[in-house]
Amino acid sequence: MAEFVWEARGRTGEIRKGTMEAENEAAVQNRLRAQQLNPTRVKKKGAQLSLSLSFGSGVEPKDLVKFIRQFATMIDAGLPLVQCLEILSNQEPNKIFQAALKDIKNTVEQGATFSDALRRHPKIFDDLFVNLVQAGEVGGILDSILNRLAIYIEKRVKLARQVRGALAYPIAVIVIMVVVMVVLMSFVIPSFETMFAEFGAKDALPQLTKIVIAVSKTFVTYLPLIVVLTVAAAFGATYFYRSPSGKRMVHRLVLRLPIIGPVMQKIAVARFSRTLGTLLGSGVPILDALDIVAKTAGNVVVEEGLMYSRQKISEGKNMAEPLGEMQVFPGMVVQMVAVGEQTGALDTMLNKIADFYEEEVDVAVAALTSLLEPLLMVIVGGMVGIVLISMYLPIFDLAGKIKAE
């Protein structure tokens, strides 16, 4: 007998925690289900996570999609669950994923359900994945649920790739600009200053050149202090962002920014509607589905709004009204959700909303990129241009004086 720490969700969605003595994790999970509790985490007391899972899952989304597609095909063909896991784990090239699949197979062989076995690896299989699998097990449609899950992951990866693509260019340009300005201020401008002093033109420099040289001297003199202050500011910003109030403030600010805000709003709507539509269409209860959607929202403001909506729904109200109170979702989305609730086709309506807003994200990201590219080039070109002009103005003056003589 060993002691296990467990965490489970009650019928009304509340989280419960405790400890229990049992022979293995499967026995703990079976006892919790007998008490009408849905186990979300069971861990041997004092046990440590394996080294392979301590620094991230190590499993790419493409590996996960490949596994889901193959697993669904095998289940549809009538192969036993354990045999499917055995075959897929043996042919999996990713060692971390292979070890996880073998552990899942062994757990299932000990009597646990497939969804409970997946819960042992939360960094690979998140709550959404596990709950969809559980719904598929209960409804006897595991193969259909897995195919739907694969489509969902593919769309989620596409959305994340679009966001990264939109941010990659401006970040790269800003980094290059900072490097170029540091080199100019630290090495190029001091060299020009020395040259002007040798020509005896130091006192007759144009005002712009004097300003740039003064800025360069200040930068070089206080460079250690600037580095320390920059590092301190980065740590301070990180600490502030990790605090609940700081993260909430930043996320609210992001949604209200003039250019980026509408894009982030569209991304939030697309993610919410796709995730909730997939969960509801797979038979997951709406309260559990909203809890999962809130955790995967990626924005604290949206997460708190969804949890508020979940609370109102648990009190007997519909979803559309509290969603409208959030002031994050556009009126069209709220109206479509209301229609979906009235017609009993909320999952279908949510997937249509997701299709529409994913296309909107495509257009918005393309527009944002096309706007940022010339803007950043003007800023970078202007800063470098000012420095170069300020350095060459005295040279032109010296050349003119030499010709005059």
Is this structure's pTM higher than 0.75? no
- Flag the least confident range among 27-36, 86-95, 249-258: 27-36
Rounded Cα distance, 362 and 357, in Å? 9
User: CATH number for the 1-48 domain, one of 3.40.50, 2.60.120, 3.10.20, 1.20.1250?
Assistant: 3.10.20
Q: pLDDT of 146-186, one tens digit each? A: 888 888 888 888 877 877 777 787 888 888 888 988 998 88
- Is CATH 1.20.81.30 the classification given to domain 156-405? yes
DSSP letters along 281-337, please? HTT--HHHHHHHHHHTSS-HHHHHHHHHHHHHHHTT--SHHHHHHTT-S-HHHHHHH
Reduced to 3 states (helix: H, G, I; strand: E, B; else coil), residue 140 is coil
Q: Phi and psi (nearest 5°) for 257?
A: -65, 145
Reduced to 3 states (helix: H, G, I; strand: E, B; else coil), residue 44 is strand
Neighbours of 403 (CB within 10 A): 7
Q: pLDDT of 258-270, one tens digit each? A: 878 888 888 888 8
Neighbours of 232 (CB within 10 A): 10
Q: For residue 129, what pLDDT is reported?
A: 85
DSSP state of 109: H
Domain ranges in the chain are: 1-48, 156-405
Q: Tell me the residue length of the chain.
A: 405
Q: For residue 19, what pLDDT is reported?
A: 77
Reduced to 3 states (helix: H, G, I; strand: E, B; else coil), residue 17 is strand
